[in-house]
Structure 1
Amino acid sequence: MKTSPLPLGVASRRNVFIALLGRLLAVACAMLSLRAAAAESPRLVQSLDDDWRFHLGESPDAVLTSFNDQNWRQVDVPHDYVVEGTFAEKEPQPRAGGPVRQDWYWLHGFLPVGPAVYRKTFSLPTSAEGKRLWLEFDGVCSNSHTWLNGQLIGAQYSGYTHSRFDVTAAAKPGGDNILVVQVDPRYDGWWYEGGGIYRHVRLITVDPVHIAPDGVFVAPTVSGPGDGNKADAVVVAHADVTNTSSASVSTTVTSEILDANDQVVATASSAHELGISSSVKVAQSLPLARATLWSTEKPNLYRLRSTVRVANRLVDQVTTNFGVRHVRFDAAHGFFLNGKHLELQGVNLHQDHAGVGVAVPDRLFTWRLERLKEVGCNAIRLSHNPVAPFLLDECDRLGFIVVAENRHLGDTYVDQAPKETPAVEHRDLSALVRRDRNHPSIVLWSLCNEQWIQGTPEAAAMIRAMKQRVHELDPTRPVTAAMNGGFDSAVGMGGVLDVIGVNYNPGVYDPMHKLFPATPMFASEIASEISTRGVYATNHWDGYYGDRERGYASAYSITAGPGGQTVENAWPPVAAREFLSGGFVWAGFDYKGEPRPFGWPVVNCHYGFMDLCGFPKDSYYYYKAWWTDAPVLHLFPHWNWTGKEGQEIPVWVHSNCDEVELFLNGASLGKQAVTPLHHLEWKVKYAPGKLVAKGTRKGAPIEATRETTGAPAALRLTADRSTLTADNADVAVVNVEVVDAQGRVVPTAGNKIAFALTGAAKLIGVGNGDPSCHEPDKANSRSAFNGLAQAIVQTTHTAGEIVLEATSPDLKSARLTLHSR
């Protein structure tokens, strides 16, 4: 049968339709293939976070399988038991014979530390028979010993390095298994380090033929930065494959790259023969044309799916996130990401938070990073230890540059390694690099912080050995170390580092650059300004400004810790030097311990530009003004100065406006031009009313106000999110404000607030940011500090409505409704 040809336009449309349909079918098939592959992955990862039994103190018999732990307290991990203690000025008796520093208790924030024991009973299916079983701890603080079914399976002395034990021989598939962890953090105490199983725990079940732990390494390279957004790349996918079976096997190892839309964009496969108890290192090259680059503004991520098959049977699969980016440290011009100059506007972070200590829920890590993004921070130095894996995942996802830091120089667990320390194994350093080398956020491996031998040839020898080990595991990243001395030594560690980190000492930036002109540099720690949120004391004592009796430092940015600088003396020297890659403020948040320079009654430091709850201090707005393009006009102090009528009050402004004019009760107090990187100041005789700052930035007006408030009248609750996941882990950060009858925060309020929680949730911690507050972090009440407090609410496995009510005598109560799903 003969048919007439279709008109040209119709035929073209039909061809286009057929082509589109073909593409859609191909996409659908690829998606189905991906889902099927994910569904059939034989690797089983089982969380062991829930339902532990806990005992504070030693219990030697607890390792016996017959031991009865029913009278022990039930807890979930992550768990920090030290933060549950009571602050005490008197130091407890140190452990006999223990190498405890004399200032240990002081540095640890006056919270007693002792040993403890955890026990957990869990079942294993019979299908685990014949498999390999690994027990993983992301972090246990510290000096831990782990037992399974009465057998000692391993020890980990570091409180930060993850532990992984092969428990195949000790486990009992088809029955109950008893896991015991003994911890004793009394030997630690550089700062507040907490105690307990404070990170996640999991059991991993794999086939006898499998990818080794931390055995996937993704090494993308680009010949150049392309157009800054896309570039041609080559991804070398490494996989360490192991055969622990009783027979030789023929394997097929496949690497697939998936883009942000879950589409496979590159594939490579190779066949490998593995003998009994043998392994093979597989390296496959995958071209990736026009790869979308990872950056701080657009943190694009790819996924590598590594699979192993034996006789066409899938036996293992591991999925790894990674990013493609072009990184360059330049000794003369600083840091470049994807061909674009990027000033590292960084902070140093410890890992604890109000209410929870070091047992920080995953969502709280995200919340803290979001606060840093808001201030314009684009980089984080992880001081001074390996961190929770989830924190690095979020740095990848949110777009932070990361300096990942090793805990100690050499192989020892003391903070000042002796000259004779051997530099051979580097177990902790190796574990850090192997676990974290696939994170695109990490651009530097920091080998140590402030070691007293840093200017000596011995230090240089140790750094060479550590550097060699790092580059064996990861040849794609340079190494650094943070130095606070030995700057003028050409034979110390400065001469062998790929990138030099300088802590404080802005006066050495130029001499160091002259001594090592070909070595890139950055300011690894700056500032150490001491300030207390909402405290505006101007009295002077012992070189500091503040309230000595209560242990508060002035929030006016006029005092710094030993060797440190105020913000206006710390950041400008960094910003003025093109050869510096940037600087990292000490610190982003206050943290427990290191109560310098006060000691008791202070129990946490004052170094953060946010307090322990994440409430901004005034210096937060200094950095926001000069780290972002957003218009900033921050006026302080508060304007509640009853009893000081007619007295001069220093009024400051942090702003990136062109000029600012100040008004009190409608009368102008003068206009000032803004000098970049510096504050504005007026001396104002106090009179109750309204203080207003009016600025202009590029012709656009901006205004800030401080008003004399009334007495506390009510409470107000605000949560970061209203809908949570019912997974026994998700949290809502609830901020509490004490307000007057007009809804204005009362900046001097210290009312005691009680919390009542109903629904399927737990109140896991409270705080207020007061560095001298001795109220417990684990409680149903908390005093406000200068008008603010915080409660952290965590879901359970049960979905439903959650209601938090806050009450205080003589104040109107507040209710907040959340939902978990």
Structure 2
Amino acid sequence: MSTGVIKRHQALINNDWTFMYGDIAEGKEVLFDDSSWYNIGIPHSFGIPYFMENEFYVGYGCYRKHFAIQPEWLGKSISLDFQGAFQDADIYVNGQWAGNHKGGYTAFHIDISELVHEGDNLLFVRLNNLWNPRLAPRAGEHVFNGGIYRDVSLIVTEPVHVAWYGTFVTASEVSAESAALKVKTEVVNEEVKTADCLLVSVVEYQGTDICEMRSQQSIAPGQSFEFSQQQLLVEPMLWHPDSPSLYQLKSYVYVGDVLQDEYETNFGVRSIAFDAKEGFFLNGEHYDIIGVNVHQDHAGWGDAVTRAGIARDVKLIKDCGMNFIRGSHYPHHTHFSAECDKQGLLFWSELCFWGIGGANTEGYWASSAYPVREEDKEEFEASCMMALQEMIRTNRNHPSIITWSMSNEPFFSDAEVMDDARALVVKLVEESHRLDASRPASVGGAQRQGFDVLGDIAGYNGDGAALYMDPGFPSFVSEYGSVIAVRPGEYAPGYTDGVENNPRWRSGKALWCGFHHGSIASNMGYMGMIDYYRLPLNAWYWYRNELLGIAPPQPTSEGVAYSLRLTADKRVIATDGTDDTHLIVEVIDREGKRISNPLHVELEIIYGGGLLPTGKSIRFSPESNSFLDGMGAIELRSYYSGTIKVRARAEGVLPAEISIEAVGDTIWSGQSLRLQPPPPSVMKAPAHGSSYNIARSRPVFCSSYEAGHPAMNVTDGLEDTYWEPSNEVEGQWIMVDLEGCKKAEQAVITFAGATALSLQNIFYSLDGKAFFSLDASKHEEKNKILIAELPSEGLRYLKVVFPAANAVVKQIEIFT
């Protein structure tokens, strides 16, 4: 056993894994034959290849990975860092159980010090993405593909070391002249005797030492201690989206005069404040926030996105002039907030407590956001609390993060547990304050059921921006827009309900949404200003022109196709699972101008170890929305070094080729790999079995409303509320938004008393622009109108337009 002191070793182990679908418990055994398993790298998803399907594989998947332990590491602290595994993971090393983690969106670590030996060791991960009534999220408008979809690292330190994500740097009294730094550092003693520790904390800026802090403490065996140090920083370089300055904290842990550990933390110095009347302030100055919501998945790869892919996403938002991202609706990879730090975007980090609306179906991610069974509640709340704790601990040093969000639309819970859902949000807010008093706790999607008053900031989605004007506490338009489109799309921002001009009291606004994404709900994934393949729609160019003054490109048109053009955003990539290149293929004419001809294009790796989500080739087509407006794109990665050659070809045009150089330890030598096929089966949302009002708690828009009787009342399900327009001018209207195209059977409109409404004044729409009349009839009850048959293609909007004699509307219900 080694007795020498080692330097902290932290290395990615993303390469050379094998994977197989199913619950194969015997795979934990060292001598198990996995020759029939698939060769994969991390990040990885059960669902690869995934292209926005509403259904996905639900079940078990198992992973095996051999890794080496150096002799000098024995007797040291050895652990594994998982940045994310969805969603219930059992970890085994050399056949022995090492630990379990439940929760798919936060990083975790597993101590394996006692389970390893010198030389070759086996890591086995048994993982499932089964819906769990006691695990957040129980519901959500996304997909829930399983997999070790974020990086995995091996960490080796001395027994006395800085704890996992053990530093926390905050700054107060921030100005251009000075800032009061407070540094908390948790040091762990895993020795069998007391350690007399010296912590030396050095602050650096661009490689130059700025200041040093020293503290001593005796730490008992098996215990940890949190050091607290303070320092006045003179003339700090303040972090700001326009100048994202970052400092480095070097933490040196000594026992006696022997250095035991060295740990580095990036941080920024800035001040933030949200005010009910004056909006948001950054570094003491009022600052207008404009940004987008962002889901994490990419075309083909699903949630298994590289760090380069994350950086590309952040850059796309930055490049159109926006300054903010809301991480909808779960904690993102820690590298996401690091990229926001580096590139200069504010970030809203959100917990995975959310709902989807519609028919609550226990057993699937369309259930009540909060548990309906008493026996599930305690464990569910504990899972939310643990996810919050892990989200904050692993991200708390990022200056880009300006709030911790507790939820998104938790009001999509069954009525009988709504009080419990509100009480949980209150507990989460209190825990957020305890863990990090330097940032406010927000409640995202708080526009119904009184959730907006439970946190420090209310985030309003959909119609919330119009419903809650100057609410008397800090507020944010956390979602607006939600326009369904494919490229090229409309050259417009998607503004709704006065969102365009921010009043000073409103802290900011975020478009729904930044990118197309996978969704369990039909069509709801097509609401991005950038498509799934990371190609902008015209809405992105609108924002870029508005915010940066960069004119949009000229529209394309069909022409005489001559050849394909194949480009990449980088020609050299790393092979450790963190990198990729974005390939773009275009159809051009003889002058090299892109034209919009609807071709079917095949992209093929003709040489080298490169990998596409579909293997060695992929087909683009207009029918699959993968080749539109004369363009297609995909990300290519490699786990082997060497030259990669890619060819694009289509019928009737000249092909194109490009070479990419992959750099890493393992050289591509033409070896044959067992590539993962599509998932063996997919799970569909179960039928809810009975008619259900899918309009409940959905956004409602109107021409005007009388004080105390807003449009939202018509979908609240309550008997004693109603909508009343504020005047009797002809053409008053009210419109329910189902937030996506939904299939429904009938609708019922209930009025307060008899109505003189013409039965020809009821309309439906798929896009909010083109409206079509609906046939209606008087209901058995004189104050109701029945629409007995709704369009077979579905609808998104239901609109009622009134003549001069206005009616008071109590409820609009739309039934499946």
Q: State whether TM-score is above 0.5.
A: yes
How far residue 453 of structure 1 moved from its aligned partner, in angstroms, is 6.9
* Pairwise CA distance, 1:532: 1.5
Report how far residue 499 of structure 1 moved. 0.8
After TM superposition, give the deviation of residue 330 of structure 1 in Å.
1.6
Give yes or no for contact 2:171–2:271 (8 Å, CA) kept in 1: no
1:751 to 590, 600, 608: 600
Q: What is the alpha-carbon distance in structure 2 between the residues aligned to residue 184 and residue 79 of structure 1?
A: 13
Contact 2:162 2:187 in 1 (8 A): yes
Q: In structure 1, what residue type is equivalent to 2:369?
A: Q
Query: Within 1, Cα distance between the matches of 2:158 and 2:368?
Result: 40
Partner Cα separation in structure 1 for residue 556 and residue 112 of structure 2: 64
For residues 575 and 41 of structure 2, the distance between their equivalents in structure 1, rounded to whole angstroms, comes to 15
Determine if contact 2:530/2:536 at 8 Å carries over to the other structure: yes
Alpha-carbon shift at residue 729 of structure 1 (Å): 4.1
Alignment of 1:35-74 (within 5 A): 42-74=7-39
CA deviation after TM superposition for structure 1 residue 71, in Å: 2.3
Aligned residues: 632
Alpha-carbon contact 1:613-1:768 (below 8 Å) kept: no
C-alpha distance in 1 between matches for 2:33 and 2:64:
10
Cα offset, 1:209, TM superposition = 1.1
CA distance in 1, matches of 2:6, 2:368: 43
| Structure 1 residue 256: Cα displacement | 0.6
- Equivalent residue number for residue 601 of structure 1: none
How much has 1:407 moved relative to structure 2? 0.7
Equivalences for 1:419-438 in 2 at 5 Å? Answer: 421-422=377-378, 426-438=385-397
The CA distance in 2 between the partners of 1:631 and 1:68, in whole Å, is 58
CA distance in 1, matches of 2:21, 2:622: 26
Partners of 2:565 and 2:269 in 1: CA distance: 45
Hey, what does 1:269 align to over in structure 2? 214
Contact 1:409 1:447 in 2 (8 A): no
Which residue of the other structure, out of 500, 519, 530, is the alignment partner of 1:593? Answer: 519
* CA deviation profile, 1:353-374 (whole Å, cap 9, x unmatched): 1121111111111112111111
Aligned: 1:330 with 2:173: no
From 51, 54, 58, the equivalent of 1:113 is 58
* 1:533 and 2:384 are equivalent in the alignment: no
Q: Would the aligned equivalents of 2:88 and 2:102 in 1 still touch at CA under 8 Å?
A: yes
Does the 8 Å CA contact 1:609/1:616 hold for their aligned counterparts?
A: yes
- Which letter maps to 2:591? Q
Match 1:478 to one of 409, 428, 440: 440
Which deviations, in whole Å up to 9, do the C-alpha atoms of 1:761-815 show, x marking residues without a partner? Answer: 33446879979629xxxxxxxx63331111323244535x443221222211112
Amino acid of the residue matched to residue 180 of structure 1?
F
1:444: which partner in 2?
A: 403
Query: What's the CA shift string for 1:552-589, capped at 9, x where partnerless?
Result: xxx3479xxxxxxx70326x425242211111111100
CA distance 1:278–1:388, change in 2 (3 Å): same
Q: Deviations over 1:102-147 (max 9, x none)?
A: xxxxx96233333211111212112222112211111112222211
Q: Given the superposition, is the C-alpha separation of residues 798 and 770 from structure 1 closer, same or farther in structure 2, using an over 3 Å criterion?
A: closer
- Letter matched to residue 773 of structure 1: S
Matches for 1:83-102 after TM superposition, within 5 Å: 83-84=48-49
**Partner SS, residue 629 of structure 2:** coil
* Higher RCO (CA-CA < 8 Å; seq separation 6+): 2
The amino acid across from 1:589 in the alignment is F
Query: Matches of 1:494 and 1:784 in 2, distance apart?
Result: 42
* Paired residues for 1:90-169 under 5 Å: 109-169=54-114
CA distance in 2, matches of 1:220, 1:46: 31
Counterpart of 1:613 (choices 533, 545, 548) is: 533
CA shift for structure 1 position 150: 1.6
Which residue, 436, 441, 451 being the options, matches 1:493?
A: 451
Mapped to 1, the partners of 2:371 and 2:555 lie a distance apart of 55
Distance 1:498 1:274 in 2: 37
1:351 aligned to 272, 280, 296, which one?
296
| Structure 2, unaligned runs of 5 or more | 132-137, 356-362, 664-816
Question: CA contact under 8 A between 1:354 and 1:769: conserved in structure 2?
Answer: no
Distance in structure 2 (CA, Å) of the matches to 1:263 and 1:743: 49
Tell me the secondary structure at the aligned position of residue 291 of structure 1: coil
CA drift of 1:278 comes to 2.1
Indicate yes or no: 2:162 matched with 1:197: no
Unaligned runs of 5+ in 1: 1-39, 88-106, 535-554, 559-565, 598-603, 635-703, 775-782
Counterpart residue number, 2:126 = 182
Q: Distance in 2 between matches of 1:787 and 1:263?
A: 50
In 2, Cα distance between the equivalents of 1:79 and 1:501? 33
**Does structure 1 retain, via aligned residues, the 8 Å contact 2:54–2:143?**
yes
Describe the SS at the equivalent of 2:236.
strand
For 1:357, what is the secondary structure of its paired residue?
coil
Corresponding residue number in structure 1 for 2:628: 785
- Provide Cα deviations, 1:735-770, integer angstroms capped at 9, x if missing partner: 100122332322242223242343453344687997
Q: Which residue of 2 aligns with 1:249?
A: 195
Please say if residues 240 and 280 of structure 1, whose CA atoms lie closer than 8 Å, have aligned partners that are also in contact.
yes
- Asked if the contact 2:403–2:440 (Cα under 8 Å) also holds between the matched residues in 1, the reply is yes
TM-score by length of 1: 0.73
- The structure that is helix-richer by fraction is 1
* Alignment TM-score, normalising by the size of structure 2: 0.73
Q: Are residues 790 and 453 of structure 1, via their aligned partners in 2, closer, same or farther at CA, if it must alter by over 3 Å? A: closer
In 1: Cα distance, 2:424 partner to 2:217 partner: 38
In the alignment, the residues of structure 1 paired with residue 230 and residue 177 of structure 2 have an alpha-carbon distance, to the nearest angstrom, of 16
**Cα distance in 2 for residues equivalent to 1:383 and 1:507:** 18
Local SS of the residue matching 1:276: coil
Q: Distance in 2 between matches of 1:198 and 1:433?
A: 20
The sequence identity of aligned pairs, in percent, is 28
Task: Give the 3-state SS of the residue equivalent to 1:616 in structure 2.
Answer: coil
Write the distance in 2 (CA, Å) between the matches of 1:596 and 1:796. 35
Partner residue in 1 for 2:369: 416
Q: Secondary structure at the match of 2:240?
A: coil
d(CA) in 2 for partners of 1:499 and 1:408?
17
Q: Deviations over 1:376-430 (max 9, x none)?
A: 12101111111111111111100010000011279x9976113763456711111
C-alpha distance in 2, partners of 1:112/1:786? 32
Question: What is the SS of the residue equivalent to 1:197?
Answer: coil
Q: 8 Å contact 1:729–1:796 — kept in the other structure?
A: no
Between 726-735 and 282-291, the greater mean CA deviation after superposition: 726-735
Query: Is the partner of 2:27 in helix, strand or coil?
Result: helix
Judge conservation of contact 2:244–2:343 (CA < 8 Å) in 1. yes
Q: Is the 8 A contact 1:728 1:797 kept in 2?
A: no
SS at match of 2:264: strand
Deviations, residues 295-336 of structure 1 (Å, cap 9, x unaligned): 001000001111110011111111000000011112112111
* RMSD (CA atoms): 2.7
Q: Note the C-alpha offset of 1:286.
A: 1.5
Q: Distance in 1 between matches of 2:227 and 2:556?
A: 67
Change (3 A) 1:772 1:433: farther
Q: Provide the rounded CA distance (Å) in 2 between the counterparts of 1:769 and 1:140.
A: 30
What's the offset of the Cα at 1:622? 2.5
Residue 708 of structure 1: how far off its partner (Å)? 4.6
What is the rounded CA distance, in whole Å, between the counterparts of 1:168 and 1:293 in structure 2?
Answer: 41
CA deviations on 1:593-639 (whole Å, 9 max, x unpaired) are: 24535xxxxxx72100111011111222232233x13243x4xxxxx
